[in-house]
A and B are shown apart, each in its own frame.
Chain A
Amino acid sequence: MKTETITQSNDSRPAGPKPWYDPRVRSIFFQIVAIALVFWGGYTLVDNTLSNMESRGISTGFGFLEESAGFGIIMSLVPYDATMSYGRTFWVGLTNTLLVSAMGVVAATILGFIIGVARLSSNWLVAKIALVYVEVIRNIPLLLQIFFWYFAVLAALPTPRQSIEVGGSAFLNNRGLYVPDPVTQDGFGLVWGAIAIAIASVIGLRLWAKKRQLATGKIFPTFKVGVSILVLLPVLAYFVAGSPLEWDVPALKGFNFRGGITIIPELAALWLALSLYTASFIAEIVRSGILSVSKGQTEASHALGLPNGLTLRLVVIPQAMRVIIPPLTSQYLNLVKNSSLATAIGYPDLVAVFMGTTLNQTGQAVEVVAITMAVYLTISLLISLFMNIYNRAVAIKER
């Protein structure tokens, strides 16, 4: 009796609408239903999966990562042979994915910026060619472009015996591109030291030049001096140490080339296609970024007496970057994800090696798919994180 009177006296709202018309009650109700559905769905899935796996005799757990893989992989950055474990195949696949992604990001960024600027060129021919490039490349599926480079272009190259020779030390044929491999000899440590000192002094120089510019307004040619230091110091150290570098030049032995660094056609095709495809999207991002900077900014800069180069570097590009960075991040993410198409031509990336061969051999679909998806999730989150930090550094600081 007592509690009832308290609730009645505390309820200040008029006793009109039923509780199911109260938005708060409804929101709690719907959320409870949602949680119940998720748990029920999750439980059903796990239950079904376990009983299905049991009836098919599939083992569970991550023990398979220790077992011997027993299959070869055509390219690996970490030492690998067929006796090693499935855990090792995972690393081989992951490093291969990271390699082609990194190569692709660098090439696509450079090419994309060039084409994006070319789209805005005052030269009609240049602008139109850039336009045609963008409209053609981005409207054709990436997988088709990978196939084109792999099956139509690279497969049509001559055999190793009739290799195309570049400067007597690099060879191109249908087995790949063979370039000399630099082998460091004793005393190369001096060169590494010189490189480290050069980098440190350039950073110091830049800090000093910026400080001096803020204090006195005098501009120091940081770029030219910095490049000279970076080039001259290591070269000097190289000769002082007595040229401690030898080249392992590839040579035709029997049916194939030995020695040197080999870029296999699978990697070359994937890299070409990923870079060219992503560049067409980056070009449009760069173009719209530059166009987003109002003409008044350029005019104001000219009015202050800044020449064209400085206007571009100090006024236009910093403002354009703010517009460019977020969509550019998405393109980098897309490139990393698209590198998974490697499996279609047999480049041994994570999906091909792990989700393909390893899954087929072990049959442990749930674990393998979960690991692979977790890896991509991590890569995506990391790229987003770094780009967001960078984005925050260049974003407009409003007060």
Chain B
Amino acid sequence: MAEAMMKPPKKTLGPIAWMREHLFSSWYNTLLTAVIGYVLLTSMGPLLNWLFFEANFTGSGPDDCTGAGACWLFVSQRLNFFIYGFYPDELQWRVDVMFALLAIAFVPQFIEGFPGRKWLGIFGMTGLPLIGYFLIPGGSFGLEEVPSTKWGGLMLTLILAYIGILASLPIGTLLALGRRSEMPIIRGLCVVFIEVWRAVPLITVLFMASVMLPLFLPEGVNFEKLSRALIGITLWQSAYMAEVIRGGLQAIPRGQYEAADALGLGYWKKMGLVILPQALKLVIPGIVNTFISLFKDTTLVLIIGLFDVLGTVQSTVTDPAWQNVASEGYVFVAFCFWVFCFGMSRYSQNLERKLDTGHKT
């Protein structure tokens, strides 16, 4: 009876209890909350004002910016340049088609139970680059040719990242297999290749690709700047990819190799059908991390004179017609990258949970 009469303990539920537990649990937590709360309150107001409330969204030119807040007009007026670079206006539909195909291939990957997700993904890895190969540069099927010097902006960033990712995955896999090989010479060559590329900064690789590659090639053979950058990026990225995949290969128990041998499978069948599918699945987070870092590193091509999305913005923020628009430009680029990188990392976490077959306990 006495128990039934007892009142429930006070303040274990509800917002006040939550705050007591999470914000004011001790004197120093209270102090921290107070200090951080003060800083947040005083800084968020001006920040939001700058971003939205006092910002200029509409107008026709630099004169419509009041200067009180951000001048988003700068971004919207230059958006075409930021996305397509110098790609001719009337041919931009080709790039739009590629953007659309990219979205069709990869957005469904985030939606649970979307029909044909797997096939769309495979299309993204095979058909999409093939279509892009003919569509973006043109020059065949009656399409007008657009030299790679005119490509730029977000489109160039995506091309660099996409080709880099697509090429470094198989090369990295081969290197990883080579490093785990029982043939000492092949193993040695792979170790040297991987360690050298991993130890040097991407900038030096890009410099090498842009100044030394022409010297390496026989006379008459020449790649344009973009291909040279792509070769550098791919070599560099493959070394990182190889190490990630090697981690996965090492995690596969010996019994799996022995079982494949016992079935009489040859080397490539053993690797392709038994070992690699398990190893790659294990290291998906690592692979996606490598993708993310590659995606961010594509910005470095601006140092060798290619106009990726950061390059296009960087080249316009100093335009005398607009004043003090650097912050706006950088916020725009940061937002572009953040959306892609954050999306990729969330997708990999999702995939990791879904593919987890309990082997990690």
Contacts and interface: CB of A to CB of B under 8 A. Distances in A.
Contact of B185 (A35, A135, A155, A337): A35
Interface string A109-129: 000000000000111111001
Contacts of B200: 337, 373, 376-377, 380
Interface residues of A, number: 55
B296 A376 contact: no
A122 B25 contact: yes
A30 B215 contact: no
Interface residues of B, number: 54
Contacts of A365: 211-212, 215
A111 B204 CA distance: 28
Main secondary structure of the interface of B (DSSP, over half): helix
Contacts of B32: 121, 123, 125-126
A140 interface: yes
A141 B330 contact: no
B269 interface: no
A366 B326 CA distance: 37
A165 B269 CA distance: 71
Interface in B293-333: 296-297, 299-300, 302-303, 310, 314, 317, 324, 326-327, 330, 333
Nearest to B328: A152
Contacts of B218: 44, 48
Contacts of B208: 369, 373
Contacts of B337: 139-141, 144
Interface string B281-301: 000000000001000110110
A144 B299 contact: yes
A377 B199 contact: yes
B36 interface: yes
Contacts of A124: 22-23
Contacts of A231: none
A194 interface: no
Interface string A21-56: 000000100110011001000001100110111010
B166 interface: no
Given A34-B186, A123-B22, 12 more contacts: A34-B185, A35-B185, A49-B216, A126-B32, A136-B338, A139-B342, A142-B296, A143-B300, A343-B203, A373-B196, A380-B198, A381-B199
Interface of B: 22-23, 25, 29, 32-33, 36-37, 40, 182-186, 189, 196, 198-204, 207-208, 211-212, 214-219, 292, 296-297, 299-300, 302-303, 310, 314, 317, 324, 326-327, 330, 333-334, 337-338, 341-342, 345
Interface of A: 27, 30-31, 34-35, 38, 44-45, 48-49, 51-53, 55, 121-126, 129, 135-136, 138-144, 147-148, 151-152, 155-156, 333, 337-338, 340-341, 343-344, 351, 355, 359, 365-366, 369, 372-373, 376-377, 380-381
